[in-house]
Structure 1
């Protein structure tokens, strides 16, 4: 009997040990299972974060893409800001931007000195006469606009910021210039407003000028050291203002040989001046030349005999841009009206 009881005790102890082992294994399994669950949850969370980051990155790229657009230029397609904020203009387009109520961060010295825009250029940085590329870089432009069509210049500028080139004589007149530049920088409405005001001013100036001149002819010439230059209806010496906006009549020779000439000017000798001289003559003597007013050729001109020769101020009539041309038309009208008061 005692032996039987002893066996029972041994069996019970063995069973208890086995149960403890099973419980330990179960506990360890629970811990392992918990660790596995935690790892899985962490991985899922990381994946969601990663996916969220990827979506955000794609969204950001889309936003950048939406903030730019591609334009066709003489140098091919160029991606530019849809709404540029820091424009640098090189050679000739400062006043065009100002006409659109856009103040660039930088412009050339010569353009900044334009007497027609002195009230508008405060805050525009000077990038020099040639091109100070380091200065342009310092200004951190998001768009550069230039009229210099030169491969080397373009290469340097385009490394700084997207660059659009409008070569000289790209536009047929300042109205087209304002419209095209306005379209480039997203200022179409400002361009329309400017043109409306411009047309109103030109109509008033035209009425005044034509009241003096009527159907008589007008010429615009430049006196150089040995030659005479005759100008057409384009960018030189106020020709656009005189012929396109005041709509005054050129001589037949100017109409046939100068207006429409790709150069928009013609060099002539003093001996044939009478062929190009109108009933009214505007003379530019800004290049060190002067007319030989003692010459019989000069004194026999109809405009000279009738005292209808006028000398515009070079600094006012050399600039070519929308603001200057508008002022030039009005100043031509003022000068013509001044003849009636003498």
Structure 2
């Protein structure tokens, strides 16, 4: 009898333990379900997933070629810094990327269009001597600069992957746009921008080609007390004028880069329409007092006699696709038949 009673007791004990286990498991399952359904829990999990995805993107890299060799850059850089506030800023903004920092040219006349973007972009000093301390503080994951800033390349590369663009041998705004778009996976956007630009150029040619057949155009540059001319390959506006069919005087045909002029050679660069391009703020403010304007040879120029001289600031404000499209619009005003 005792043996049978002990068996029954053990079976009952096992059954109770089983029920207790089922009860505990059910409660745990309910609690787990309740926690999963809480909004905070969902947001937290989603945020962790997003952070994980972002970390994976930041960790992914690729090798790109640039003016000073090759660099391993993030596949999807999130914090791009540029070492100027014009030639590199314009194409980046055009493809939808706003840098976390930029260097500046304090003495240059700036584009009003780009100024509104630069206003809230932290500045990292003069583009000829950027502040490494300020750059470091902004924690960039990609730095983009010009080849003429190569003295800083080694130091910049210790802060973040750095690529340098060759603007010494020419300033091709289309080429710069395509390059930046390619390494930043925005090539489709670059093609759209260039298509819009080409459409504007075609409209300009259709409306003004006939009027321009009998005109010649020249552009002089003022920099301090120096007078110079730039080849069409050296400034973005020159590229645009060629695309638009602006009839530059023959002297430009073989001009590469930069040529400083003497007063005696000014008549060689005379034209029906003469543009005087001003780079620096000081030159703009003191334009009327510049000595060469008081020289007798100035009054012999055909453009001066016909009142067809225009002061502009193209070299420092027409710097990329955004300002290029605006420049095409402005060209109409110079070539219509009005005084």
TM-score (norm 1): 0.69
Distance 2:169 2:264 in 1: 34
Q: Which moved more, 1:195-204 or 1:119-128?
A: 119-128
Distance 1:235 1:322 in 2: 16
Match of 1:195 in 2: 194
Q: 1:97 aligns with which of 92, 98, 112?
A: 92
> How far 1:255 moved relative to its partner?
1.7
Indicate the structure whose relative CO is greater, using CA pairs within 8 Å and at least 6 residues apart. Answer: 2
Q: 2:122 aligns with which of 125, 136, 155?
A: 125
Q: 1:246 aligns with which of 241, 244, 247?
A: 244
Q: Per the alignment, in what secondary structure is the counterpart of residue 108 of structure 1? A: strand
Q: Per the alignment, in what secondary structure is the counterpart of residue 140 of structure 1? A: coil
> How far 1:160 moved relative to its partner?
1.0
Work out whether residues 272 and 308 of structure 2, in 8 Å CA contact, stay in contact via their aligned partners in 1: yes
Counting only pairs closer than 5 Å after superposition, residues 36-185 of structure 1 correspond to structure 2 as 67-91=60-84, 92-110=87-105, 114-121=111-118, 123-129=120-126, 130-169=129-168, 173-185=172-184
Structure-2 change in CA distance of 1:138 and 1:284 (3 Å): same
Match of 1:222 in 2: 221
Cα-Cα RMSD: 2.9
> How far 1:178 moved relative to its partner?
0.6
Match of 2:307 in 1: 307
> How far 1:331 moved relative to its partner?
1.9
Structure-2 change in CA distance of 1:208 and 1:79 (3 Å): same
Structure-2 change in CA distance of 1:341 and 1:152 (3 Å): closer
Work out whether residues 171 and 177 of structure 1, in 8 Å CA contact, stay in contact via their aligned partners in 2: no
> How far 1:217 moved relative to its partner?
1.5
Match of 1:271 in 2: 264
Work out whether residues 105 and 123 of structure 1, in 8 Å CA contact, stay in contact via their aligned partners in 2: no
Distance 2:132 2:316 in 1: 26
Q: Which has the larger radius of gyration?
A: 1
Distance 1:191 1:96 in 2: 9
Distance 2:271 2:189 in 1: 38
Work out whether residues 133 and 157 of structure 1, in 8 Å CA contact, stay in contact via their aligned partners in 2: yes
Distance 2:122 2:265 in 1: 47
Work out whether residues 231 and 237 of structure 1, in 8 Å CA contact, stay in contact via their aligned partners in 2: no
Match of 2:7 in 1: none
Distance 2:111 2:304 in 1: 31
Distance 1:188 1:248 in 2: 29
TM-score (norm 2): 0.70
Work out whether residues 223 and 283 of structure 1, in 8 Å CA contact, stay in contact via their aligned partners in 2: yes
Structure-2 change in CA distance of 1:323 and 1:196 (3 Å): same
Q: Per the alignment, in what secondary structure is the counterpart of residue 105 of structure 2? A: helix
Unaligned stretches of 5+ residues in structure 1: 1-59
Distance 2:194 2:172 in 1: 12
> How far 1:182 moved relative to its partner?
0.4
> How far 1:180 moved relative to its partner?
1.0
Instruction: Report the number of matched residues.
Output: 271
Distance 2:298 2:65 in 1: 50
Work out whether residues 217 and 250 of structure 1, in 8 Å CA contact, stay in contact via their aligned partners in 2: yes
Q: Deviations over 1:268-300 (max 9, x none)?
A: 222222222122111135545636455443333
Q: Per the alignment, in what secondary structure is the counterpart of residue 120 of structure 1? A: helix
> How far 1:220 moved relative to its partner?
0.4
